[in-house]
Amino acid sequence: MKRAFVILVLLLSAAAAGAQDFTDSLSVQAAIDSTLKGKDILNIIQNSSGEVYIRQSDAVRNAFRKYVSNNASRTISGYRIRVYYDNEQRARAKSESIARAVAGRYPGIKVYRTFESPNFKVSVGDFRSKDEALRLFNELKILYPTAFIIKENINYPLIDADAIFN
């Protein structure tokens, strides 16, 4: 019994010493970080005229461009808005007409017209979340009352790498 008590006391004292070392290291870390307390990083790096220049090597730019081009063909799980879905005799012509109308009204949003036997489908957008899709859905629902949101593989969002670096 005495052995167990001695071992317990030794373990508790070792744990307390370790905790003290840990809190000492935290206070040292906090002292180092507090040198920039209350300062804005842009005030530190800007030049005398108030402008901030960020220089990066061409290797960084080329790596980013390569990353964007490699992901151009990827698909991810997301949402689209189905505005038309039918297999009637005039479905092909009607789907073409609806696709042109939606593309004309919303030029920045991709419109997809597909045929999956026996149905012609028109879907709109590449939305990562349902909330993004809902914003456009509320507008399209007025024009196309049968529209609905579908979960589908969407195209990876494209980024203009040159626009980011200029």
Per-domain boundaries in the chain: 2-36, 69-161
Radius of gyration of the CA atoms of the chain, in A: 30
- More confidently predicted of 32 and 159: 159
Average model confidence (pLDDT) across the chain:
80
One-letter amino acid of 165: F
> How many CB atoms lie under 10 A from the CB of residue 40?
9
Dump pLDDT digits (tens) for 55-89. 778 888 888 888 878 877 788 899 999 999 999 99
What's the confidence (pLDDT) of residue 31?
Answer: 52
Q: With bands split at pLDDT 50, 70 and 90, how would you rate the model's confidence at 34? A: low
Rounded CA-CA distance 152/34 in Å is 48
Is residue 37 over pLDDT 60?
yes
Q: Under a CB-based contact definition with an 8 Å cutoff, are residues 95 and 127 in contact? A: no
Sheet strands (E) in the chain: 75-86, 111-116, 119-127, 148-155
Residue 43 pLDDT grade (very low, low, confident, very high; cuts 50, 70, 90): low
pLDDT the model gives residue 73: 77
pLDDT band at residue 92, thresholds of 50, 70 and 90?
very high
User: What per-residue confidence (pLDDT) applies to 68?
Assistant: 78
**148-155, strands of its sheet edge to edge:** 111-116, 119-127, 75-86, 148-155
Q: Is the dihedral of CA 23, 24, 28, 34 positive or negative?
A: positive
Question: Which tops the pLDDT comparison, 20 or 62?
Answer: 62
Tens of pLDDT, residue by residue over 109-157, are: 999 999 998 999 999 999 999 999 999 999 999 999 999 999 999 987 6
pTM: 0.58
Residue 102: name the closest of 140, 134, 132 by CA: 140
Choose the CATH number for 69-161 among 2.140.10.10, 3.30.70.1070, 3.40.50.300, 1.10.10.10.
Answer: 3.30.70.1070
The answer to whether 84 touches 122, Cβ cutoff 8 Å, is: yes
